[in-house]
Amino acid sequence: MLDERTERVLWAVIQSYIENPDPVGSRYVTKKYAFSYSPATIRNIMADLEDMGYLKQPHTSAGRVPTDKGYRYFVEHIISRDIGYDERLVEELERRIKNMVEDMDGVLNEATKTLSTLSHFLGLAISPGPEGSTLRRIELVPYKDDRIAVLILTDEGVIKHKIIKNEFSLTANDLSSIAKYLNREFTGYTIKEIRNQLVKELAEDKNLCDTLIERALKLCHESLDEYGANVFITGLSSILDLPDFTDIEKIKELSKAIEDKHKMIKLLDRIVQTEGVQVVIGSENPIKEMSAMSIIASTYKDKDRPAGIVGVIGPKRMDYKAVITLVDTAARYLSKIFEEGGGK
């Protein structure tokens, strides 16, 4: 643990570096943060901090810059003490989503935009995977020719529609019976359970003739196929205005990383394993292309079940306290919204 004075110096360096991405010198620290010690003393302390790995010098005669470990120390303190509540975020969100009813994707999209606007970084949200949602109702509607429109409604407001081929030439009546059967059989189960069940039953019945039930199961199986989570990332242009992104290579890496949505989901699932705001600083990130960035993310709940993820991606040099507060507020707000049942 650091003694209080050392900690204050670390804090001052980080604070200053966040405001302005120039290496911080000892003289500057004493003046700006009104230390009652001379620059020489501060220099000694900063040398200590460098030995311990909290700061480093870009080159011999430059000031100091925080390391990932330095940020980490700083962030631990914030998380254990200072998470507040961001009024503006809630107001802005209220305003934006007031006309949305049960449109979770729409709400999440607005949430990323708001997070991006308020943080000036990338706003990020992942919709709940369907696995945990509970089926409420499934509708089969004849479309045209040999097509069927399937509408899937879940308790959590996750909805999906899909058009599939009607390979068995089912009539409207057949469809209605099948829908009744499926609703009776599967309502109240989670998508995951249903999918498992389907695989099992289809395997067992493999050798039976084409009963209506088998067709129903196949239809259902096809409908639940490719029923994946959505990723929303907003704000690339605002992040480019930061002085941190003068290097084209960094921009390329970042834009590649966020274009690969699949990778993004995997990354965030890995990060957000436990409850509460999670902070990943620079090289703590398993994706090495993002080692210049930090991720602040949290899960939001949907009917008391951890559902999707919401967060902010920005440069390591960020106002962690503000962003953590922002993300925490967003996660809580979304949880509240979805608990009440959709938009408003």
Partner DNA sequence: TATTAGCACTCTATGGAGAGGAGTGCTAAA
Partner DNA sequence: TTTAGCACTCCTCTCCATAGAGTGCTAATA
Interface positions with DNA (CB under 7 A): 22-28, 36-41, 43-44, 46-47, 50, 57, 59-64
Q: How far is the CB of 36 from DNA (least distance, A)?
A: 7
Determine the Cα–Cα distance for residues 72 and 109; give it in Å rounded to an integer: 30
Site for its own copies contains 303 (CB under 8 A): no
27 binds, among DNA, its own copies, none (CB under 5 to 8 A by kind): DNA
Site for its own copies contains 161 (CB under 8 A): yes
Q: How far is the CB of 256 from its own copies (least distance, A)?
A: 4
Listed ranges 86-94, 159-167, 213-221, 306-314: which one lies at the site for its own copies (CB under 8 A): 159-167
Q: How far is the CB of 217 from its own copies (least distance, A)?
A: 19
In sequence order, the 6+-apart residues with CB closer than 8 A to the CB of 202 are 214, 217, 218, 221
**Residue 287: C-alpha distances to residues 248, 266, 268, 281 (Å):** 18, 11, 11, 12
84 binds, among its own copies, DNA, none (CB under 5 to 8 A by kind): none
With b for 16 or more beta-carbon neighbours within 10 A and e for fewer, the 257-270 pattern comes to bbeeeeebbebbee
Q: Which of 51, 49, 57, 45 is nearest to 74 (CA)?
A: 49
Nearer to DNA, 65 or 330 (CB): 65
Give me the DSSP letters along 99-131. Answer: T--S-HHHHHHHHHHHHHHHHSSEEEEEPPPGG
Determine the Cα–Cα distance for residues 155 and 104; give it in Å rounded to an integer: 12
Looking at residues 54 to 113 of the shown chain, list those that interact with its own copies (rule: CB under 8 A). 101-103
62 binds, among DNA, its own copies, none (CB under 5 to 8 A by kind): DNA
**Binding residue (CB under 8 A) for its own copies from 47, 52, 164, 287:** 164
# of chain residues touching its own copies (CB under 8 A): 37
Determine the Cα–Cα distance for residues 46 and 62; give it in Å rounded to an integer: 12
Listed ranges 42-50, 153-161, 290-298, 308-316: which one lies at the site for its own copies (CB under 8 A): 153-161
**Binding residue (CB under 8 A) for its own copies from 251, 284, 303, 319:** 251
Q: Which of 259, 282, 302, 336 is nearest to 56 (CA)?
A: 282
